[in-house]
C-alpha cells in the first residue's frame, strides 16, 4: 500500500515534469526537448537493441524516433505518460522497419539478468541459463515475445503495453500467460 502511494506520487511528478517539458518544447525552447531526449534516450535505445541487436542500426533508429517525436510532439495530449507515448512511437517505428526486413529478436539479453554469482561455477551456470532462456524466447511467436519483452524486460505495466502495441489489456495478459507457459515447457528439461 505504501509503495503504491509512493509510486503514484513519483508518477505524478514525472508526468508533470514531462508535460511541462513538452509545453516548453512547443513554445520553441529546444533545451526542453533536449532534456526529454536525455531522460528517455536509454529507453529508446533498449527498444532499438531489442529489435536490431546492433549498435549502428540502433543509433539510426534512436535518431529516427526522436525526429518523429519532435515532429509530432504537438499531437501529445498528455492522456498517457510521455514515456508511454514515446515508447509507442519507438515500438511502431521498429515494427515498421522490421516488417520491411521480416525479422524480430526479443530482448532476452544476459545484461538484463542481474548477476548474483560468486564462484566461477555459478557464473558458468548463469551463462548457460541465460543462453537457454534466450534460445527459448527466440522461438516464441513474435506477438508473445513482444509483449513479454515490454512487460518483463522493460518493466512496463499491462495498460502501457496495451497503449504501445495497440492490443487490448486482456490480449496482452493472454499473450504473456501463453509465452510463460511455452517457456516453462521448453525449459522444464533444463532445470
Q: How confident is the model at residue 113 (pLDDT cuts 50, 70, 90)?
A: very low
Of 43, 77, 105, the position where a domain reaches its end is: 105
164/101 same-domain check:
no
Per-residue pLDDT of 138-176, as tens digits, reads 788 888 888 888 887 777 888 888 888 888 999 999 999
116/48 same-domain check:
no
User: 111 exposed, middle or buried (CB, 10 Å; 0-12, 13-18, 19+)?
Assistant: exposed
Q: Is the pLDDT of residue 136 over 50?
A: yes
C-alpha cell at 129: 541459463
| DSSP, residue by residue, 162-182 | HHHH---HHHHHHHHHHHHHH
67/112 same-domain check:
no
Angstrom distance (rounded) from CA 164 to CA 85: 7
Of 82, 105, 128, the position where a domain reaches its end is: 105
Per-residue pLDDT of 17-54, as tens digits, reads 999 999 999 999 999 999 999 999 999 998 888 888 88
Q: Is the pLDDT of residue 112 over 60?
A: no
Angstrom distance (rounded) from CA 49 to CA 66: 16
Question: What is the pLDDT at residue 2?
Answer: 59
> Which pTM does this prediction carry?
0.64
Q: Is the pLDDT of residue 189 over 70?
A: no
Of 46, 71, 105, the position where a domain reaches its end is: 105
Give the range of the structural domain holding residue 145, as residue numbers without chain letter.
107-191
CA atoms within 13 A on the CB side of 11: 13
Instruction: Give the rounded distance of the alpha carbon of 62 from its chain centre.
Output: 13
21 and 36 in contact (C-beta within 8 Å)? yes
Q: How far apart are the first and last CA of the chain?
A: 35
22/79 same-domain check:
yes
153/164 same-domain check:
yes
Q: How confident is the model at residue 116 (pLDDT cuts 50, 70, 90)?
A: low
| DSSP, residue by residue, the chain | -HHHHHHHHHHHHHHHHHHHHHHHHHTT-HHHHHHHHHHHHHHHHHHHHHHH-SHHHHHHHHHHHHHHHHHHGGG--SSS-HHHHHHHHHHHHHHHHHHHHT-------GGGS-----SHHHHHHHHHHHHHHHHHHHTS-HHHHHHHIIIIIS---HHHHHHHH---HHHHHHHHHHHHHHHHHHHTTT-
What CATH code is carried by the domain that includes residue 126?
Answer: 1.10.10.10
Q: How confident is the model at residue 70 (pLDDT cuts 50, 70, 90)?
A: very high
> What is the rounded average pLDDT for all residues in the chain?
83
Q: How confident is the model at residue 62 (pLDDT cuts 50, 70, 90)?
A: very high
Amino acid at each position: 500500500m505504501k509503495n503504491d502511494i509512493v509510486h503514484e506520487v513519483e508518477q505524478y511528478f514525472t508526468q508533470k515534469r514531462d508535460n511541462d517539458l513538452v509545453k516548453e518544447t512547443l513554445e520553441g525552447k529546444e533545451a526542453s526537448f533536449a532534456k526529454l531526449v536525455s531522460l528517455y534516450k536509454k529507453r529508446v535505445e533498449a527498444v532499438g537493441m531489442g529489435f536490431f541487436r546492433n549498435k549502428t542500426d540502433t543509433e539510426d533508429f534512436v535518431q529516427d524516433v526522436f525526429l518523429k517525436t519532435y515532429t509530432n510532439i504537438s499531437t501529445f495530449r498528455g492522456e498517457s505518460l510521455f514515456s508511454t507515448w514515446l515508447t509507442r512511437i519507438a515500438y511502431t517505428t521498429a515494427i515498421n522497419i522490421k516488417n520491411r526486413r521480416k525479422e524480430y529478436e526479443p530482448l532476452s539479453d544476459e545484461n538484463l539478468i542481474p548477476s548474483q554469482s560468486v564462484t566461477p561455477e555459478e557464473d558458468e551456470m548463469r551463462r548457460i541459463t541465460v543462453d537457454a532462456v534466450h534460445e527459448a524466447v527466440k522461438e516464441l511467436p513474435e506477438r508473445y515475445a513482444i509483449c513479454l519483452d515490454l512487460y518483463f524486460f522493460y518493466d512496463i505495466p499491462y495498460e502501457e503495453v496495451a497503449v504501445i502495441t495497440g492490443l487490448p489489456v486482456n490480449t496482452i495478459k493472454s499473450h504473456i500467460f501463453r509465452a510463460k507457459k511455452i517457456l516453462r515447457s521448453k525449459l522444464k528439461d533444463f532445470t
